[in-house]
Amino acid sequence: MTTTPRQVVVTGLGATTPLGGDVASTWEGLLAGRSGARRLTEEWIEQLPVQIGAPLATELPLARVEARTLDRSQQMALVAAREAWADAGSPEVDQERLAACVASGIGGVITLLTQHDVLREKGARRVSPHVVPMLMPNGPASTVGLEFKAKAGVHAPVSACASGSEAIALGLDIIRAGRADVVIAGGTEAAIAALPIAGFAQMQALSRRNDSPESASRPFDKGRDGFVLGEGAAILVLEAAEHAAARGARVYGALAGAGISSDAYHVAAPDPTGAGAARAVRAALRSALLEPSDIVHINAHATSTPAGDLAEAVALRTALGDHIDAVAVTSTKSMTGHLLGAAGALEAVVSILALRERIVPATRNLDALDDEIALDVVSTDNRKIGTGAALSNSFGFGGHDVCLAFTV
Amino acid sequence: MSQDVLAGLAVILEEVAGVDPADVTPEKTFIDDLDVDSLSMVEVVVAAEEKFSVKIPDDDVKSLKTVGDAVSYIQRAGVAA
């Protein structure tokens, strides 16, 4: 006997990104095909082989004490969560039925590095007493949980660049399991600092197009040479459908399902067969009670690395068969850069909006599709799509594969 | 009670914990009245040590419940130094 799982809907969206300080400006930037990448100007940049990134478009609207006691990743999560919560109508909810799942791939790395400098230069007495809660990877989840008094659990799944999607998948599980009625879910990342850039560069993961930052992130293009490191946060308010209906909430769409798998192949390299990623996609379809033919749109992980984009293309064909030829695929990262642990959350927001507005933002910088990539990637012009379901993929170092399924 | 020390503490409390300087009066408790949590209290103490050139050992911090306690402590420590 099969039972239909508890329906989970999305009732609020929030984001602060390289394209804008909120969801509306980010979406507008995506539709306009703008790039958030630029040449970095920090004093430490000259020593690095990669000198481009995609920082936040705007200053964070925070009180001075919030800025002082929260890591940048926590600050961004708080800003995005406040937008999402207001967008959901600032509902009165039973705090014991409210959970928070806010992930980061790396945690408070900027705090860790700057406070290590303080320790070495000024001594232990001058280290901030806030340093541990600022650098812990669950810090952003804690910040958001405290802000909205979430008492049904505060979680921070860590799975590198899949973290944001995994947090949303966990939120789905929590509501389906009946442990909460509302979950504030998403991801955040603030890792534009010398050490992370140097480390990613050593892995040959970053684009070296220092002289043309806006064309550096070029997913699926023949000339792609790595990702552009971005920063930001995105948050969704997930809600049990009956809870949303009871309070008359505006519903963007449904988080219909989620699939999670792991490659067990290599700590960083994608499995070229795409087997793990394909299993995540199929698991998401099963979880959502969807067939491949229901899918009209895929927001690909597509970071612009040579190996990753190719493996994802293989995985999508494996998972959806020939129906993949009828699916409009796009890469948000061509415009935002790669937000690491926030990427999946931002792309969840974008997927929902694409379904709702029935338009897929074109992938920027796709001048010549890689001959080995057999996908219908939306490029040059945004594309209208019909009704149906959308998938959003996220993969992370460590072999993490997460796929979210949305319907409207 | 030194108005200079009181005013100096008010500046620190505003910077570290966002406390309105007008609220910083001797009878106020740090935790209950001014909402300075235990972590921010450590920052207040370190900033006060630097501003007033005194030492405030961690064991003594526990006895500083009110703004007045801190002002008196800093005055005594300053005289001793």
**For A89-128, what is each residue's pLDDT tens digit?**
999 999 999 999 999 999 999 999 999 999 999 999 999 9
Catalytic residue among A155, A297, A338, A400: A338
pLDDT value at residue A255: 98
Domains and CATH numbers, chain A: 8-407 (3.40.47.10)
Interchain proximity B43–A65, CB inside 8 Å: no
> Is-contact A284 A259, C-beta < 8 A?
yes
Report yes or no: A8 and A255 within 8 Å, Cβ to Cβ. yes
**pLDDT above 80 (res A370):** yes
The Cα of B45 is separated from the nearest Cα of chain A by a number of Å equal to 10
Predicted pLDDT at B1: 62
B2 to A249, A252, B74, B75: CA distances (angstroms): 57, 60, 10, 7
Please list every residue in chain B whose beta carbon sits closer than 8 Å to the beta carbon of residue A133: 39
| Least confident range of A60-64, A216-220, A330-334 | A60-64
- Report whether pLDDT(A70) > 60: yes
C-alpha count within 13 angstroms, C-beta hemisphere, residue A14: 28
pLDDT band at A348 (very low <50, low <70, confident <90, very high): very high
| CA dist., res. A33 & res. A81, Å (int) | 25
Name the DSSP class of A255: E
Name the residue with tokens 């100096």.
Answer: B8
Question: Which residues are paired to A233 by β-bridges?
Answer: A16, A188
B39 to A68: CB separation less than 8 angstroms, yes or no: no
A59-86: string of b/e by CB count within 10 Å (b at 16+)? ebebeeebebbbbbbbbbbbbbbbbbbe
- With an 8 Å Cβ cutoff, is A39 touching chain B? no
CB A79 within 8 A of CB A233: yes
* CA atoms of B73 and A125, how far apart (whole Å): 20
Q: Is B37 marked active-site?
A: yes
Closest Cβ–Cβ partner in A64, A69, A126 for B46: A126
How many structural domains are present in chain B? 1
Q: Which helix (H) or strand (E) holds A253?
A: strand A253-262
Say if residues A356 and A408 touch (Cβ distance below 8 Å): yes
Nearest to A129 among B18, B39, B49 (CB): B39
φ, ψ dihedrals at A389, nearest 5°: -115, 155
Please report the pLDDT score of residue A282 as a whole number.
98
Q: Are strands A389-396 and A295-299 parallel, antiparallel or unpaired?
A: parallel
Coil, strand or helix at A392: strand
pLDDT for B78 equals: 81
Q: A280 to chain B nearest CA, in Å?
A: 43
Cβ contact A222:A237 at 8 Å = no
| A229 φ/ψ angles, rounded to the nearest 5 degrees | -75, 120
**Residues of chain A contacting residue B43, judged by C-beta atoms under 8 Å apart:** 128-130
Cα distances (angstroms) measured from residue A245 to each of A8, A142, A240, A332, A338:
11, 28, 9, 31, 35
Closest alpha carbon within chain B to A63: B18
CATH value at residue B60: 1.10.1200.10
Task: Write down the residue that tokens 């039925």 correspond to.
Answer: A97
Residue A4 has pLDDT above 80, yes or no: no
Q: Which one of A127, A130, A134, A135 makes the best mutation probe of the B interface by having the most chain B beta carbons within 10 Å? A: A130
Q: Report how far residue B40's alpha carbon sits from residue B42's, in angstroms, rounded to the nearest whole number.
A: 5
Q: Is A155 a catalytic residue?
A: no
- B18 contacts in chain A (CB < 8 Å): 63-65
Min Cα–Cα distance to chain B from A146, Å: 14
Closest CA to A72 of A156, A26, A16: A16
Q: Tell me, what's the pLDDT at A47?
A: 96
Asked if the Cβ–Cβ distance from A69 to B46 is below 8 Å, we say no
Find the domain containing B19 and state its range.
3-80
At residue A8, the 3 state secondary structure works out as strand
How many interface pairs between A and B have CB atoms less than 8 angstroms apart? Answer: 20
- Supply the mean pLDDT for chain A: 97
